[in-house]
Structure 1
Amino acid sequence: MRVAFTWRIAALLALSFASAQDSETASIPSIGGGNGCPKIAPGPVSFNYLAGQFSPQALPDPIAIESIRQTLSLYALAIDGRDFEVLRKVFTTNARANYSDPIGVLNGVQAIIDTLPPGLNTFVSTQHHLGTQYIHVCSLTSAVSVTYFQASHFFTPYTGVGNPVDNSKVLIDRAQYQDTWARQRDGTWKITNRNLVRMGPTTLDGGIPTQ
């Protein structure tokens, strides 16, 4: 605990002497050189080899881990709620995001905000369910995370539990987000690099592979 406290005091001192010309959302300068993060950026890393990139953490930072987890949850809320401007709270201004096919690589949060809505809006609604997760805090200012997700895309609106739809009305995507994070001057964490890696084919509800 004493080591963690010392790190936090050092971070506060770094904030106090930060250059006034930097923006309030810029990432904090690293303290002590290299950050020791697993090399998943720009990536992506095949999920078959991903586990080998990580090692157990002797002193995990629960505050940073929870902050990153909350931001990932905010992403799901923003996407499913179609409030895409909220993504500015999730990604840095110059973030890189590789959403794989059919979107590809997007450079900058504005490109992410502009590009995601047209595809998502072809569905009546979506639900992004986050599952298995590993968050590795590398330093006071850097972290990486891997988050499994299942995204359901609904072609028709909900009309009551008595009116279920057939398999062709729900498209399901199963994949993982590989994210690189930077701590911001206000203490929040934002994604600087994202890779979406699919772990199998997209399917229609009921497990029928799409063509």
Structure 2
Amino acid sequence: MRLSQLLPTFTFLASALAQSSLTAWEQIHQTLNTYPLAIDFKNGPRFNDVFSQDAFANYTGPLANLQGIDAIRDSLLASVAGLATQHQLGTSVIDIDASGTNANSTTYFTANLVSVAGSTAGDFTVLFGLYRDDLVKSADGWRINKRYLEFMTPNLGNLTLG
């Protein structure tokens, strides 16, 4: 089976009724969990289900200080071009403010990157860290408005890939 045949349909995000039956915490968790699917399947439109239009992201290095969803999406997708990736999220703590319209979260991640092209084909990198996110609730649901990536341990493999 080809990877493209495994592409999730994301119908759960299209259903306002399904979203309305979730608690705010569950809705935020759903937003956070959509990110790995968007980047791993290189599905640009799904970034709209993760980030606010005016979002800011700092993934460090050449991916630092990305302003706006277009810059975030385009830079991240360019960074994984030629790579097969699998981002896995782990422990996540979500704190929603009293107004119910702002939240922050801290989420552990592991990212596996494998080169599938060129002279580095077969090389891999494993990244370990966490995302610190500020989220806002809009008419479209919860979206990340600010994201900061922090590496937690030495990364493994061919670090030029990540």
Provide TM-score, normalisation by structure 1.
0.60
2:71 aligned with 1:111, yes or no? yes
CA distance in 2, matches of 1:193, 1:156: 31
Q: CA offsets, 1:153-172, max 9 Å, x none?
A: 01249xxxxxxxxxx73210
Note the residue ranges of structure 2 that are not aligned, 5 or more in a row. Answer: 1-21
Greater fraction helix: 2
Letter in 1 for 2:150: V
Give how far 1:115 is off.
1.1
CA distance in 2, matches of 1:85, 1:97: 17
Aligned to 2:112: 152
| Greater C-alpha Rg | 1
Question: Could you give the per-residue CA deviations for residues 8-61 of structure 1, whole angstroms, max 9, x where no partner exists?
Answer: xxxxxxxxxxxxxxxxxxxxxxxxxxxxxxxxxxxxxxxxxxxxxxxxxxxxxx
Task: Tell me which amino acid in the other structure corresponds to 1:176.
Answer: L
2:153 counterpart (193, 197, 200): 200
Percentage of pairs with the same residue? 35
Q: Answer yes or no: is the 8 Å Cα contact 1:201–1:210 preserved in 2.
A: no
Alignment RMSD:
1.9
Kindly report which structure 2 residues correspond to 1:56-205, keeping only aligned pairs within 5 A, or say none: 63-123=23-83, 125-139=84-98, 140-156=100-116, 169-186=123-140, 188-204=141-157
Q: Which has the higher contact order (CA 8 A, sep 6+)?
A: 1
The amino acid of 1:172's aligned partner reads: V
SS of equivalent to 1:102? helix
Higher strand share: 2
Q: Which residue of structure 2 lines up, in the alignment, with residue 25 of structure 1? A: none
Give secondary structure in 2 for the equivalent of 1:182.
strand
